[in-house]
């Protein structure tokens, strides 16, 4: 299904190469795993509802959504992405996939229990519009979960050639993200950083807890914000 309103100027639209990296590349697989685990932890901590209606914005090849669906057994799980090429790899029997703009979600109001958007807000032309759409499609008491890389480390990644200069429209720190959430009447439940390394290492989670307890969260590479619709 294709949304005719999609603009061709969307930045950071990914291709088959991204899917291959997520399936075969150690670093990409690790980052996917860490983000998925953070999202699962947030859902299990902040909702007791079963048979969830789950939406994954920026689903790419659907690998995260598949992992979430396997773990949560939702009533319905839907993934949207701007890239029709990536969505070709997302077909499965437990989720629905739609090509769509994150700022113009093709769903009715108050439909989903959880909306997830990992590593996507930095790509969209209008982050406020995306958060507004997340709020609109969420039920009262529903969760909005967003992750995005730390701006400082994103800048470093761009400087060393890991990212293209035009991949992102805007980067966000936790203060900006919290403002966006609160401006859309999403009560912020969690706003913290995670991930010490883009490739992982032994005992990373233990060391990460120590780093957080020591007030050194600035050393962490990624961020997560969880909000609830009031």
In this prediction the pTM is: 0.88
User: Which residue did the predictor score with more confidence, 183 or 22?
Assistant: 183
**Please, is 8 exposed, middle or buried when counting C-beta atoms within 10 Å of its C-beta (0-12, 13-18, 19+)?**
exposed
Q: How confident is the model at residue 156 (pLDDT cuts 50, 70, 90)?
A: low
Q: Order of strands, edge to edge, in the sheet holding 96-99?
A: 96-99, 76-81, 53-57, 112-118, 138-149, 222-229, 186-194
pLDDT at residue 7 in the model: 42
| Max Cα–Cα distance, the chain, nearest Å | 50
Residue 155's pLDDT is what? 62
Distance CA 91, CA 66 (A): 10
């Amino acid at each position: 299904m294709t949304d005719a309103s999609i603009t061709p100027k969307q930045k950071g639209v990914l291709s088959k190469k991204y899917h291959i990296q997520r399936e075969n590349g150690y670093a990409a697989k690790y980052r996917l795993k860490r983000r998925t685990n953070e999202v699962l932890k947030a859902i299990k901590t902040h909702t007791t509802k079963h048979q969830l209606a789950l939406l994954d914005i920026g689903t790419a090849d659907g690998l995260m959504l598949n992992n979430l669906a396997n773990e949560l057994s939702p009533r319905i799980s839907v993934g949207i992405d701007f890239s029709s090429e990536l969505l070709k790899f997302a077909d499965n029997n437990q989720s629905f996939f739609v090509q769509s703009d994150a700022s113009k979600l093709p769903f009715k109001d108050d439909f989903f229990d959880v909306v997830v958007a990992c590593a996507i807000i930095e790509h969209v032309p209008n982050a406020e519009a995306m958060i507004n759409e997340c709020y609109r499609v969420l039920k009262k008491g529903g969760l909005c979960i967003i992750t995005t890389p730390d701006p400082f480390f994103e800048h470093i990644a761009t400087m060393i050639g890991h990212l293209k200069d035009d991949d992102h429209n805007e980067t966000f720190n936790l203060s900006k993200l919290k403002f966006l959430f609160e401006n859309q009447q999403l009560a912020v439940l969690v706003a913290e950083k995670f991930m010490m390394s883009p490739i992982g290492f032994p005992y990373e989670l233990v060391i990460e807890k120590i780093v957080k307890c020591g007030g050194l969260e600035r050393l962490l590479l990624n961020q997560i914000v969880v909000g609830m619709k009031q």
